[in-house]
Structure formats: structure tokens, C-alpha cells
């Protein structure tokens, strides 16, 4: 994906309305990545810098170019109300009218909801991992028991009989 992303950055270098860049989350960019919820690499985020969204599309050159052309456009925001539909404008106006402390409280509550959703997901994944490991162990034990019960010898006898030309007695009776 890196070559495709580098090509996209070159294509949009200096573009008037589209910024395509990258950030090394393991070095100096770590605080920026942490602040934007980047947990795995590579991660692509887009949109309003104060409300970045996760990109879930294809990672090849064509998919990235299509995304940049169709989705990296000016978006509805407090600074661009003319791009908002009536419902979004009403939401923005409602939030803008709130005292800063109340807005902070609402943001904290929503952030807490997101954190809870992440935690719930992480716990469910851990449980799935435990289930997977248990099923894997059970499967391996069953396969080992099957092999130890003589499967290999049965297959060896069958192959030996076939090579020796021994026919199935029941087939001969028909």
C-alpha cells in the first residue's frame, strides 16, 4: 500500500482543497496518532481535522484514487455551513449555542460511549480468541487420537494391497 499512497501524495501535492499526507506513528507523529485513535498500521483517516473518520476502502492505487476524487471534498462543518443540509445546520447551530462547559460535558459523554464500545469489542475479541484456541486444541487432540488409532496403518495397508493387486473380496462376489 505504501507505494500507492506515496503516488497519491505526489498527485495531490499542493492541491488547493485536498490534503493527502502521512504521519509516522512510531516516531515524532505518535502524539498526533494517539490523539486521533490510531491503533494499527497502516491506518487511513479523512475528513474534518477535528473529526477524522476511518477509511475502510480498498488499499490499491485505483481504490485510493477513486476515494480521493469522490470523497476528499469540502464537507459540512461550522466553517462551511453552506455545504450542510438543514438537519446538520440545525445541529451545528444547537451546539454552537451551548456554553463551552456544557459542550465539553457532551463531548466527554460521547467519548466515553466510544471508549465503552471499544472496550466491549476488545473483550469480545479476547473471548473469541480464547474460544478459538480451545477449539484449535480440541481439534488437534482429536486428530492426534485418530492418527494414533491406526489411520496411518490403515492407509498403508490399503496402498500396499493396491500395489500388490489384491482386490476387494466383496467386489468379486458381485
What's the whole-number mean pLDDT along residues 59-74? 88
- Per residue in 28-59, pLDDT (tens digit) is 888 888 888 888 888 888 887 778 888 888 98
Q: Are strands 53-54 and 45-46 parallel, antiparallel or unpaired?
A: antiparallel
Q: Are 64 and 8 in contact (CB under 8 A)?
A: yes
Q: What are the residues whose beta carbons fall under 8 Å from the beta carbon of 8, sequence distance 6 or more?
A: 20, 61, 64, 65, 68
How many Cα atoms are found within 13 Å in the side-chain-facing hemisphere of 125?
6
Nearest CA-CA partner of 74 in 147, 15, 134: 15
DSSP 81: G
Cα angle 52, 54, 60 (rounded to 5 degrees) comes to 125
Q: In the predicted model, what is the mean pLDDT of the chain?
A: 89
What's the whole-number mean pLDDT along residues 155-174? 78
Query: Helices in 98-168 by DSSP H: which ranges?
Result: 100-146, 152-164
Nearest CA-CA partner of 21 in 70, 72, 62: 72
DSSP 18: -
pLDDT of 96 above 70: yes
- Per residue in 8-24, pLDDT (tens digit) is 888 888 887 788 888 88
Which band of pLDDT confidence, cut at 50, 70 and 90, is reported for residue 153? very high
Question: How many of the other CB atoms lie within 10 Å of CB of 121?
Answer: 10
More confident residue, 138 or 41: 138
Amino acid at each position: 500500500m505504501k507505494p500507492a499512497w506515496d503516488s497519491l501524495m505526489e498527485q495531490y501535492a499542493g492541491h488547493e482543497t485536498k490534503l493527502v499526507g502521512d504521519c509516522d506513528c512510531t516516531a515524532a507523529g505518535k502524539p498526533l496518532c494517539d490523539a486521533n485513535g490510531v491503533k494499527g498500521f497502516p491506518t487511513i483517516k479523512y475528513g474534518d481535522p477535528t473529526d477524522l473518520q476511518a477509511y475502510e476502502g480498498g488499499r490499491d492505487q485505483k481504490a485510493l484514487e477513486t476515494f480521493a476524487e469522490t470523497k476528499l471534498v469540502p464537507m459540512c462543518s461550522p466553517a462551511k455551513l453552506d455545504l450542510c443540509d438543514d438537519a446538520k445546520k440545525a445541529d451545528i447551530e444547537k451546539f454552537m449555542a451551548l456554553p463551552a462547559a456544557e459542550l465539553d460535558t457532551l463531548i466527554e459523554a460521547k467519548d466515553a460511549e466510544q471508549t465503552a464500545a471499544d472496550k466491549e469489542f476488545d473483550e469480545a475479541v479476547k473471548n473469541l480468541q480464547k474460544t478459538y484456541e480451545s477449539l484449535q486444541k480440541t481439534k488437534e487432540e482429536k486428530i492426534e487420537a485418530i492418527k494414533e488409532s491406526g489411520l496411518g496403518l490403515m492407509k498403508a495397508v490399503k496402498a500396499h494391497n493396491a500395489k500388490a493387486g489384491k482386490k476387494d473380496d466383496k467386489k468379486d462376489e458381485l
